[in-house]
């Protein structure tokens, strides 16, 4: 397995070839000043990391996030991204780096409008903090600052604790470039251009989220109740959700459903 420093260098090599520049110093300073609202006491449960795409350097990490990783913002900023990488499960880091080789090319080839809609989601990441505390989390990444061609300059990770919602051992990554969706699943370790749920499963999930019963969904979609329940079980298995409520919650966080 690669070390955190080796994983970071690979990320630098991948993103750096397509997005080699930082924002202008004045632009970066203005954005970081605005980002201080993320440390407001009313938002202390919001975990965020602001990073540069060209080298994955961390430019802001709020107190809630640093505490989640067993540290303080100043230390993580000093150590850099290897601090966070070192807290993650090595095979999950390796998969993320390998996927980035493909996704960065897809994003580079995308239209300016498609680049604006880029996002990535890492679901059920295992975190081990310095003092041995463990978390299972979701990292949702979006660009927050672009250049004139809509190439991403800065990105933000939103980190959610998923411990109560997902079973351990099932993890998956989802990437969106424009209308194209790519997923990687721990049970089928290969990046594929497909969503985590099929179109039929998504149709059923939306109805479940609206409060419809299996019987009502079956009647609406001209299916048997048994078929609807099979789709429900398959969605739980794919996502690792502990129950239907957790399934809805996770899929909303991932922007799979509204």
Q: Which is more confidently placed, 65 or 1?
A: 65
Summarize pLDDT for 25-84 with one digit per residue, the tens.
Answer: 888 888 878 777 777 655 567 899 999 988 889 999 998 899 999 999 999 999 999 999
The answer to whether 100 and 11 are in contact (CB under 8 A) is: yes
Pick the closest to residue 170 from 230, 99, 106, 246 (CA basis).
246
Mean pLDDT of the region 221-239: 97
Q: Does residue 132 have a pLDDT over 60?
A: yes
pLDDT on residue 258: 86
> What percentage of the chain exceeds 70 in pLDDT?
98
pLDDT on residue 40: 67
Pick the closest to residue 248 from 213, 214, 217, 202 (CA basis).
202
Summarize pLDDT for 94-107 with one digit per residue, the tens.
Answer: 999 999 999 999 99
Q: Does residue 137 have a pLDDT over 90?
A: yes
From the centroid of its chain, how far is CA 248? Answer: 16
pLDDT on residue 94: 96
Least confident range of 28-37, 109-118, 154-163, 215-224: 28-37
Least confident range of 36-45, 105-114, 139-148, 220-229: 36-45
Q: Does residue 231 have a pLDDT over 70?
A: yes
Mean pLDDT of the region 136-148: 94
d(CA 80, CA 236): 36
Pairing of strands 47-52, 152-161: antiparallel
Question: Cα Rg for the chain, rounded, in angstroms?
Answer: 19
d(CA 251, CA 235): 10
Q: Does residue 245 have a pLDDT over 70?
A: yes
Question: 179, exposed or middle or buried, with CB in 10 Å at 0-12, 13-18, 19+?
Answer: exposed
What pTM was computed for the model? 0.93
Mean pLDDT of the region 105-126: 95
> What percentage of the chain exceeds 90 in pLDDT?
80
Mean pLDDT of the region 112-123: 96
Mean pLDDT of the region 112-127: 96
User: What rounded mean pLDDT belongs to the chain?
Assistant: 92
């Amino acid at each position: 397995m690669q070390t955190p420093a080796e994983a970071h260098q690979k990320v630098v090599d991948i993103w750096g070839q397509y997005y080699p520049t930082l924002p202008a110093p004045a632009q970066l300073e203005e954005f970081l000043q605005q980002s201080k609202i993320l440390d407001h006491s009313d938002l202390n449960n919001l975990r965020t990391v602001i990073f540069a795409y060209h080298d994955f350097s961390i430019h802001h990490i709020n107190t809630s996030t640093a505490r989640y990783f067993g540290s303080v913002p100043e230390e993580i900023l000093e150590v850099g991204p290897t601090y966070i990488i070192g807290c993650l499960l090595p095979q999950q880091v390796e998969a993320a780096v390998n996927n980035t080789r493909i996704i960065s090319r897809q994003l580079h080839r995308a239209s300016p409008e498609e680049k604006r809609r880029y996002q990535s989601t890492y679901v059920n990441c295992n975190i081990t903090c310095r003092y041995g505390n463990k978390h299972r989390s979701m990292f949702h990444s979006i660009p927050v600052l672009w250049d004139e061609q809509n190439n991403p300059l800065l990105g933000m990770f939103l980190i959610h604790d998923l411990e109560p919602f997902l079973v351990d051992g099932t993890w998956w990554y989802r990437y969106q470039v424009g209308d194209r969706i790519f997923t990687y699943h721990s049970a089928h370790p290969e990046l594929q251009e497909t969503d985590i749920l099929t179109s039929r499963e998504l149709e059923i999930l939306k109805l479940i989220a609206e409060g419809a019963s299996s019987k009502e969904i079956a009647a609406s979609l001209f299916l048997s109740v048994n078929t609807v329940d099979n789709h429900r079980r398959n969605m739980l298995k794919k996502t690792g959700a502990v129950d239907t409520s957790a399934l809805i919650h996770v899929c909303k966080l991932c922007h799979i459903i509204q």
